[in-house]
């Protein structure tokens, strides 16, 4: 007899999501079945909800979505011996192949065969999700289910922030979305000096100040040069995090970084845009693209930082029951909210 579960499904190729009864996933010998307790809504989920051009080209329909999750082990595949039933877990949402040069060398996050849970594979906005045992990350007691549900985006922030040595450096962050804000928290935790975050949305800047009280916020319409000079940074910032995907943001970073400055770029532009590469050449800037998390060094570092005092919980601003998903997604679409967590 087929067991059924509630799942949030992209059931039709049009805007919206639908809560449906679908079969509980059947696991293979190397898989883990996770009973989901909390999930976080990601920007990717909003793309799928709105059914924009990217989603139309990337997501097969029907598809259970969602990739930010926490839960407990409900079932183990025959070959899985290093986890226990009932153990609290989260896990990496990028499922890799093991044939490429990168993955065979242990650089798993560079594997070209990567598929995404909740994008190309059935996701975690459901009562249960099937995850390869390789991707499962056990949770320490210090990290509760709610925090664990946002480890995926926190991992993006950690991957970005730790791309370069931050100790004693001055940091400029473009984009005060939840991941940008968490990157500021990480930069503070590991020893950056001045941290400035800029955004056109004053509500997001207020949230940044609430999460990281020592961060300096400035609206994109204000005078960033005067602010830097006032802080004694007459040559500019040492390192930039581009977290917005806005074309103007990369130009801002190029303008306000020191000679030889470094940029970690996580923000994904919605479409191609023009950029003056002469600034990169003449200022000898380094631009490093960031995607996802390093498997599994980023997971180790962010769990260690959470256990040693990193506090990002205030970035969670909205909590809903899973059945209230429509209200939750509308809150996300309207903007201004931080992370939104669903309880299953």
The answer, yes or no, to whether residue 336 has pLDDT greater than 80, is no
> 335 falls in which pLDDT band (50, 70, 90)?
confident
Residue 299 lies in a domain: no
The parent domain of residue 71 ranges over 4-150+312-343
> Residue 229 is part of a domain; what is its CATH number?
3.40.50.720
Position 271 scores a pLDDT of: 84
In this prediction, residues 280-302 reach a mean pLDDT of 96
What's residue 166's pLDDT? Answer: 98
Other residues' Cβ atoms within 10 Å of the Cβ of residue 257: 24
Residue 303 confidence (pLDDT):
98
Cα 312 to its chain centre, rounded Å, is 13
Residue 67: active-site member = no
What is the pLDDT at residue 126?
A: 98
pLDDT at 307: 97
Number of domains making up the chain: 2
Rounded Cα distance, 306 and 309, in Å: 6
* Mean pLDDT computed over 295-308: 97
Whether residue 305 is contained in a domain is answered as no
User: What is the per-residue DSSP string for 171-225?
Assistant: EEEE--SHHHHHHHHHHHHHT-S-EEEEES-HHHHHHHHHH-TT-EEEETTS-HH
What is the crossing angle of helices 325-334 and 43-50, to 10°?
100
Give the pLDDT confidence score for residue 202 in this predicted structure.
95
Give the pLDDT score at 1: 76
pLDDT of residue 334: 87
Query: 144 and 20 in one domain?
Result: yes
Residue 36 lies in a domain: yes
**44 has catalytic annotation:** yes
H/E element, 101: helix 101-104
Does a structural domain hold residue 155?
no
pLDDT at 259: 97
Residue from 275, 247, 78, 241 nearest 170 by CA: 241
Q: Do 202 and 242 belong to one domain?
A: yes
Of the pLDDT bands very low, low, confident and very high (cuts 50, 70, 90), residue 270 is: confident
Same domain, 117 and 255: no
Question: Are both 141 and 172 inside the same structural domain?
Answer: no
Residue 115: pLDDT band by 50, 70, 90 thresholds? very high
Does residue 298 lie within any of the structural domains?
Answer: no
Summarize pLDDT for 57-100 with one digit per residue, the tens. 999 999 999 999 999 999 999 999 999 999 999 999 999 999 99
The model's pTM is 0.95
Q: Which of 47, 94, 159, 189 is catalytic?
A: 47
**In terms of domains, do 9 and 113 share one?**
yes
Residue 81 belongs to a domain with what CATH number?
3.90.180.10
% of the chain exceeding 70 in pLDDT: 100
Q: Greater confidence, 53 or 143?
A: 143
Judge whether 210 lies within some domain: yes
Q: Model confidence over 170-185: pLDDT tens digits?
A: 999 999 999 999 999 9
Q: Decide if pLDDT at 119 tops 80.
A: yes
Claim to verify: residue 11 and residue 137 sit in the same structural domain = yes
Average pLDDT, the chain: 96
pLDDT of residue 283: 97
Q: Do 91 and 179 share a domain, yes or no?
A: no
Short-list 89, 76, 74, CA closest to 139: 89
In this structure, is residue 10 part of a structural domain? yes
Total residue count of the chain as it appears in this document: 344
Tens digits of residue pLDDT in 125-140: 999 999 999 999 999 9
Write down the catalytic residue from 37, 39, 44, 217.
44
- Is residue 329 situated within a structural domain? yes
Please compute the mean of the pLDDT values over residues 110-125 and round it to a whole number. Answer: 96
């Amino acid at each position: 007899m087929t067991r059924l579960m509630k799942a949030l499904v992209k059931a039709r190729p049009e805007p919206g999501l639908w809560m449906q009864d679908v079969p509980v996933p059947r696991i293979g010998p190397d898989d883990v079945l996770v009973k989901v307790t909390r999930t976080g809504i990601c920007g990717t989920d909003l793309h799928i909800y709105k059914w924009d051009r990217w989603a139309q080209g990337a997501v097969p329909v029907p598809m259970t979505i969602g990739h930010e999750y926490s839960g407990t082990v409900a079932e183990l595949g025959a070959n899985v011996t290093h986890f226990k039933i009932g153990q609290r877990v989260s896990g990496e949402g990028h499922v890799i192949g093991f044939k490429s040069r990168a993955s065979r060398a242990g650089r798993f996050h560079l594997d070209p065969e990567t598929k995404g849970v909740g994008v190309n594979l059935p996701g975690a906005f459901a009562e249960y999700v099937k995850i390869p045992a390789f991707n499962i990350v056990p949770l320490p007691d210090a990290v509760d289910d709610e925090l664990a549900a946002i480890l995926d985006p926190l991992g993006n922030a950690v991957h970005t922030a730790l791309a370069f040595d931050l100790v004693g450096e001055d940091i400029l962050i473009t984009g005060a979305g939840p991941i940008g804000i968490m990157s500021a928290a990480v930069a503070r935790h590991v020893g950056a000096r001045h941290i400035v975050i800029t955004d056109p949305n004053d509500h997001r800047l207020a949230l940044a100040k609430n999460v990281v009280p020592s961060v300096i916020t400035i609206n994109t319409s204000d005078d960033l040069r005067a602010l830097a000079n006032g802080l004694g940074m007459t040559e500019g910032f040492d390192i930039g995090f581009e977290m917005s995907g806005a074309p103007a943001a990369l130009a801002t970073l190029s303008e306000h970084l020191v000679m030889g400055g470094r940029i970690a770029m996580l923000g994904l532009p919605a479409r191609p845009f023009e950029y003056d590469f002469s600034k990169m050449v003449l200022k000898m800037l380094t631009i490093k693209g960031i995607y996802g998390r390093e498997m599994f060094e980023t997971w180790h570092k962010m769990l260690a930082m959470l256990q040693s005092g990193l506090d990002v919980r205030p970035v969670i601003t909205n909590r809903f029951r899973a059945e209230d998903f429509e209200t939750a997604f509308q809150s996300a679409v309207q903007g201004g909210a931080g992370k939104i967590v669903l309880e299953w």
